[in-house]
A and B are shown apart, each in its own frame.
Chain A
């Protein structure tokens, strides 16, 4: 089984890029692969806990929780990008990591495939 690193810089609302990134991660995990998801820029907002579910907007947190519980999925947000958006550590989704950008580069090093999702 392989390791996939997915990066995304797109916001959780306003585009469907993160929806696709999570779908892709889910498909890979279900096939037995491991996935690292790196969220930078506006995508870090996805790391906030307690997103309210409105039917007009996608709601990814339920799927993310299942993926995190699988043990084959890591979700890491850029700490600086999150802090710049007021997304504080104590409001971060349980199981979601916060790291600096070098974590993403190291994840890419060990990945079999790297995919950057979204037009940012």
Chain B
């Protein structure tokens, strides 16, 4: 019984390797993990974008147009649509000159209600501290 929180900490650049997209896909897969678990057991994922990982969150990605593959932006929106907690490091956005209005904040056009959280690293650290398991991608 109970909830286990798993923090998926994404530090990798988008598209250079597939790992950031896979990390998001694994976090989303938590929604169906219960088929392998007992009643009342829940996996609660949280996605944290830090360091170079914040580049994954930039809006208006056109990977489908140029490479024929789904975008990481779409994956983040799918996560938000499923009410996964998405945190983006404020300092790392600032360091890279990425404006806060340039990142994926919601999936409103798909009917999603959850929003990304742009948070200072201190808050992301707290989130990681409260997780049962950490995975760095």
Residues of A within 8 A of B (CB): 7, 9, 40-41, 81, 100-111, 114, 116, 120
Give B134's nearest chain A residue, CB to CB.
A114
Is the C-beta of B117 less than 8 angstroms from some C-beta in chain A? Answer: no
A105-B30 contact, Cβ under 8 Å, with A41-B19, A120-B17: yes
The interface size bin for chain B is 20 to 34
- B100 at interface by CB-CB < 8 Å: no
Kindly provide the distance from the CB of B51 to the nearest chain A CB, expressed in whole angstroms: 13
Given A40-B26, A108-B4, A109-B41: A102 touches B133 (CB 8 Å cut-off): no
> Of A81, A106, A120, which is within 8 A of B33 by CB?
A106
- 30 A-B pairs within 8 Å (CB atoms) are namely A9-B19, A9-B22, A40-B26, A41-B18, A41-B19, A81-B22, A100-B29, A101-B26, A101-B29, A102-B29, A102-B33, A102-B36, A103-B36, A104-B26, A105-B6, A105-B26, A105-B29, A106-B34, A106-B36, A106-B43, A107-B36, A108-B4, A109-B33, A109-B41, A111-B133, A114-B135, A116-B135, A120-B12, A120-B17, A120-B137
Q: Is B64 an interface residue (CB 8 A)?
A: no
Known: A101-B28, A107-B36. 12 other contacts (CB 8 A): A9-B19, A41-B18, A100-B32, A101-B25, A102-B30, A102-B35, A105-B26, A105-B30, A106-B33, A106-B43, A114-B133, A120-B137
- In the A-B complex, the 5 residue pairs with the smallest Cβ-Cβ separation, listed nearest first, are A106-B36, A101-B29, A105-B33, A120-B19, A114-B133
Q: Contact: A7 with B33, CB < 8 Å?
A: no
Name B residues whose Cβ lies closer than 8 Å to a Cβ of A. Answer: 4, 6, 12, 17-19, 22, 25-26, 28-37, 41, 43, 45, 133-137
Kindly report which residue of chain A lies nearest to residue B2, judged by CB atoms.
Answer: A109
Contacts of A41 in B (CB 8 A): 18-19, 22
Closest CB in chain B relative to A74 CB, distance in Å = 12
Q: How many angstroms between the C-alpha atoms of A110 and B33 in the bound complex? A: 12
B135 near A7: Cβ-Cβ < 8 Å: yes
**Residues in A whose Cβ lies below 8 Å from that of B19:** 9, 41, 120
For the complex formed, measure the closest distance between the CB of B14 and the CB atoms of chain A, giving whole angstroms.
13
Contact B6 A108 (CB under 8 A): yes
Output the least CB separation between A31 and chain B (Å): 21
